[in-house]
Amino acid sequence: MTEQTSHAPVTRADRVFNGAVRWLTDRGVNLAGAQTLTVTGRKSGVPHRVPVNPVTVDGVRYLVAPRGVTDWVRNVRVHPEAQLRRGRRVTDVVLDECGNADRHVVVLQRYLARWGWEVGRLLPDGLTPDADADTLRRHLDLVPVFQVRAA
């Protein structure tokens, strides 16, 4: 996959919203399945936390980066070990980038069916929650997907 930059810059409103979601999720509030992802900074080594929306396909969990190649994606590419948290439940995981285009498309379809109402504005131009498989396939490099597995 080629290294693209984020296609949806984080706004002040996004920071406030993400902070509120992270705060609630860290206290165990189930916001439609949201969790907090903690990754290690690729340069600093400092933990960074971001709210994510895991999606399950055929019993396997995935994380999707609708904004594109953001800092958490770059960090995971260097340090794939991470943690997912909701409330007191913390799970050590390893994130493997999806290299199978067909699986990537299926995960994006499922993710957008579930979370499209929330992330639609973050997607690259031309990609919508109701996009067909061919359209999704053209955008695979712009929307990274990671398989979540136990550490």
- pLDDT tens, 117-138? 777 777 887 788 888 999 999 9
- Whether 1 is in a domain gets the answer no
**Could you tell me if residue 70 is inside a domain?**
yes
Residue 35 lies in a domain: yes
In a domain, 3, yes or no: no
Residue (of 87, 74, 94) closest to 36 by Cα position: 87
CATH assignment at residue 124: 2.30.110.10
- Kindly state whether residue 4 falls inside one of the protein's structural domains: no
Domain that holds residue 61: 12-150
DSSP string, the chain: ------SSPPPHHHHHHHHHHHHHHHTT--STT-EEEEEE-TTT--EEEEEE--EEETTEEEEE-TT-S-HHHHHHHH--EEEEEETTEEEEEEEEE---HHHHHHHHHHHHHHHHHHHGGGSPTT--TT--HHHHHHTGGGS-EEEEEE-
User: How many domains are contained in the chain?
Assistant: 1
Burial status of residue 78 (CB atoms within 10 A of its CB: 0-12, 13-18, 19 or more): exposed
Domain membership flag for residue 102: yes
In a domain, 53, yes or no: yes
Per-residue pLDDT of the chain (151 residues; tens, 9 = 90+): 445 565 566 677 767 766 776 777 777 666 667 889 999 999 999 999 988 999 999 999 999 999 899 999 999 999 999 999 988 889 999 999 999 999 999 999 999 998 887 777 778 877 888 889 999 999 899 999 999 999 8
CA distance 77 to 101: 18
Q: How many CB atoms lie within 10 A of CB 109?
A: 19
Q: Can you tell me the distance from the alpha carbon of 130 to that of 120, in angstroms, rounded to the nearest whole number?
A: 10
| pTM for the predicted model, two decimal places | 0.83
Q: Does residue 61 form part of some domain?
A: yes
